[in-house]
């Protein structure tokens, strides 16, 4: 097939939730959802300017199906963590497969409700919910959302007061801090004693008393979330084993006080993805602590488990505890979208320098830390590849950097063709990419392109740099 063909290319039928999502055409062009990414950037009619994110909606839907199938007959809810990627086409794809939503703001709650997620399929997390956000959660639908996650004892009387003012009963779930250290980056570990999240396990008795004193609050469940980018099940299962007795004790306490039995056991998310092996020759890699794309990931790659394996391990504990009647909630985000989105960038130029005997080579691209902040924030490393890969090309090691005026605007060292390609693709960028993007240095937010069935089905274009200038003039 010619490189400029507009038809989608048939890909390996194994492509789906667990496959290597960026594939190659016979001539070496990078494919996503069977579409040549280079071709989309070169189309004269409606050309997509870089930097731009591309997402495979079919693979994202397959992730949700894969997770749901692992539950078997167990009542459950896959509450997609919207903060990972809040794009409308993605949330619709999740909702279309029966998924719900885990939200952390009023805006996210409004968004998911507009996109078809039912009120009883939403949980609301966060340590500092405003009265307005609490009111929105309590007042939504016939009886409010599925659960407001209470992250402190002090939050319970606040929720009670807002429910009383609205003439409603607020449905809450305790987010329990289990005091468990997860093997992940410090910034995304949330279940240890020093974390701001959740009610300490030792204080759950006091939380129960706070609910007993709050006539407008119904405790519907307990849950926890120990962190993100978990690559093995050990800590996750340990947290579930801690949570189940807390669930039983809280349910007994509520029933003894004439309150309804609990409904949900929320085991959180944090399921990791395989970011691939670390780029070569990167000093940043040696300092990195994020298991997604560091040298440690190279050792762990063979044991990065799939989300369905987390669920099966979870259900084994639930079955052992006799909780088949309970609705089990999980909150995956990264594992649904991370591997199924890429960031495409144009190569601006290369730079060579010899400050000493060793030559240094940089490759400047038009995507920066404002477009994908994970490398700067978490010292994470994403695989970077040419959009067009040809046999017999010379290869050199380049340090890939962006245009932002910060030394941390650095994507690490990568082996790329020499001379450099016109465009590169930063892989596994579907989660915490656009949602954490900014207009730092007066740069426009990237375009987002959504693929399904081998074609573009939606495009979200952000305001350009001129709009930023107008907004700052005042």
Give helix then strand counts, H and E, for the chain. Answer: 14, 21
Cβ pair 451, 89 in contact under 8 A: no
Strand partners for 217: 170
Residues in CB range of 395: below 8 A, 6 or more apart: 415, 416, 417, 418
DSSP string, 350-365: EEEE-SSSS-EEEEEE
Q: E-assigned strands of 207-333?
A: 217-223, 264-266, 327-330
The rounded Cα 114 to chain-centroid distance in angstroms is: 20
Q: Torsion angle, CA of 106/329/98/319, rounded to 10 degrees? A: -170
DSSP designation for 443: P
Q: Torsion angle, CA of 234/240/246/247, rounded to 10 degrees? A: -170
Vertex 248, ends 245 and 250: CA angle to 5°?
110
Cβ pair 185, 226 in contact under 8 A: no
Tell me the C-alpha distance between 224 and 314, whole Å.
Answer: 13
167: left (phi over 0), alpha (psi -120 to 50) or beta: left
The phi, psi pair for 183, rounded to 5°, reads: -80, 85
In Å, how far are 31, 123, 223, 442, 459 from 243, measured between CA atoms? 43, 18, 7, 46, 42
Tell me the C-alpha distance between 214 and 138, whole Å.
Answer: 15
Q: Which residues are catalytic?
A: 405
Cβ pair 295, 253 in contact under 8 A: no
64: left (phi over 0), alpha (psi -120 to 50) or beta: alpha
SS3 for 47? coil
Helical spans, DSSP H, in 43-192: 57-70, 88-96, 106-114, 131-139, 155-166
Order the strands of the 35-36 sheet from edge to edge.
23-24, 30-32, 35-36
């Amino acid at each position: 097939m010619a490189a400029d063909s507009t038809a989608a290319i048939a890909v390996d039928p194994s492509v789906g939730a667990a496959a290597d999502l960026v594939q190659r055409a016979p001539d070496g062009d990078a494919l996503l959802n069977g579409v040549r990414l280079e071709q989309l950037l070169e189309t004269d009619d409606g050309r997509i300017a870089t930097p731009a994110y591309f997402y495979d909606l079919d693979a994202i839907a397959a992730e949700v199906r894969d997770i749901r199938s692992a539950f078997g007959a167990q009542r459950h809810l896959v509450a997609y963590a919207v903060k990972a990627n809040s794009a409308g086409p993605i949330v619709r794809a999740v909702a279309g497969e029966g998924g719900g939503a885990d939200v952390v703001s009023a805006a996210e709650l409004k968004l998911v409700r507009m996109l078809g997620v039912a009120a009883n399929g939403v949980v609301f997390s966060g340590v500092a919910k405003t009265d307005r956000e609490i009111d929105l959660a309590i007042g939504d639908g016939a009886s409010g959302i599925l659960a407001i996650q209470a992250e402190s004892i002090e939050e319970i009387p606040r929720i009670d007061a807002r429910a009383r003012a609205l003439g409603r009963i607020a449905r809450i779930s305790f987010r329990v801090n289990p005091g468990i250290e997860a093997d992940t980056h410090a910034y995304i570990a949330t279940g240890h004693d020093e974390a701001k999240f959740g009610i300490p396990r030792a204080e759950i008795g006091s939380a129960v008393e706070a609910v007993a004193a709050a006539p407008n609050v119904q405790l519907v469940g307990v849950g926890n979330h120990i962190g993100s980018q978990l690559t093995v099940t050990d800590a996750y299962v340990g947290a579930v084993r801690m949570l189940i007795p807390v669930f039983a004790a809280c349910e007994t306490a509520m029933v003894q006080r004439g309150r309804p039995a609990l409904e949900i056991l929320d085991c959180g998310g944090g399921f990791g993805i395989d970011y691939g092996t670390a780029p070569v020759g990167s000093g940043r890699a040696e300092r990195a602590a994020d298991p997604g794309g560091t040298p440690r990931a190279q050792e762990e790659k063979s044991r990065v488990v799939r989300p369905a394996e987390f669920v099966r391990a979870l259900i084994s504990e639930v079955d052992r505890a006799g909780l088949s009647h309970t609705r089990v909630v999980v909150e995956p985000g990264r594992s649904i979208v991370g591997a199924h989105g890429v960031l495409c960038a144009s190569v601006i130029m290369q730079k060579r320098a010899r400050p000493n005997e060793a030559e240094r080579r940089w490759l400047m691209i038009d995507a920066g830390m404002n477009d994908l902040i994970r490398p700067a924030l978490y010292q994470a490393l994403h695989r970077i590849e040419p959009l067009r890969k040809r046999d017999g090309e010379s290869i050199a090691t380049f340090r890939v950097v962006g245009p932002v005026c910060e030394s941390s605007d650095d994507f690490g060292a990568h082996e790329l063709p020499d001379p450099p390609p016109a465009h590169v693709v930063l892989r596994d960028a579907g989660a915490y990419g656009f949602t954490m993007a900014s207009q730092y240095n007066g740069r426009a937010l990237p375009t987002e392109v959504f693929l399904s069935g081998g074609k573009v089905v939606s495009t979200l274009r952000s305001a350009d740099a001129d709009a930023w200038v107008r907004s700052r003039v005042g």
